[in-house]
Structure 1
Amino acid sequence: MSSRTRHAIDAAGQDARAALAEAQLRAASVRITSARVKVLAALLDAGRACSHQDMQDALAGMDRVTLYRALDCLTDAGLAHKIAGDDRVFRYSAGADHGSTHHQHGHFKCTRCARVFCLDSIAEAELLEKALQDSLGKGFRSHDIEFTVKGWCADCAQ
């Protein structure tokens, strides 16, 4: 495959991600700006949780403050979620939490490369809520669930 063909395929993929990002912003009734579209498209493309620095590297022409504001806006709108790492670095991942403003799934953190991946499962939040009820008894209600499984990602485990 020629580099020109690869470039055309990459450009088509970027256009599709930008269109998806724009549609998600519109559906969430969030004002569409080029920064928000670019940031959400980059998160959708990443396939893992990204730090502010990861995003700044990917979007080199974007001002740091603009990037922070776009990430905060996407998080507030439920289009992305913010993951607190034990290394005191926040990471962001695309995806609403199934209509909830609460973050209700776990993460896998590679202890070698520090990448963070979401552990998405439709039934996971309900299973965790049931485990809470079974362990602590009736009357306990969670409003946010955070857990992290640590190990080696597929790349680092080789």
Structure 2
Amino acid sequence: MFADLIRRLTEPAPQPFSDHDARHALAALMVRVARTDGYYAPDEVARIDSLLCARYALSPDEATALRQRAEELEAGAPDTVRFTRAIKEAVPYEDRLAVIEQLWEVALVDGHREAEEDALLRVVASLLGVNDRDSNIARQKAARE
């Protein structure tokens, strides 16, 4: 399954992604954000699992399994563009705002706003077609969580 998804993510002109693929892409993007500063903290792992539970109505075990698959997917994917393309194709704009907010929650869960995470999230927001104003509002909401 992962080999097929990674192959589709790395094709020069990939086919449209399913909701299932977008789910894996979002989980992998959460992992990528968490790993960006070089430390994949337990509180980031817990936040990813919690967000996946809430977003997809998963049990804790299902969310953990999805995150673990996403960790493998993230490690094997060459760039972030592939993940954002899958999400952008499958998720309407309003829901992409929630995606950005959730990514900010992962980045800010440790209480530190790292430059690497800021830079990645600026790029991700742009690739998802989310404007700077809406991304900033999403960050502010996530900081209040």
Larger CA Rg, structure 1 vs 2: 1
Per residue, is there more strand in 1 or in 2? 1
- TM-score, shorter chain, exceeding 0.5: no
Per residue, is there more helix in 1 or in 2? 2
Q: TM-score, normalised by structure 1?
A: 0.28
Q: TM-score, normalised by structure 2?
A: 0.30
The one of the two structures with greater contact order (alpha-carbon pairs below 8 A, sep at least 6) is: 2
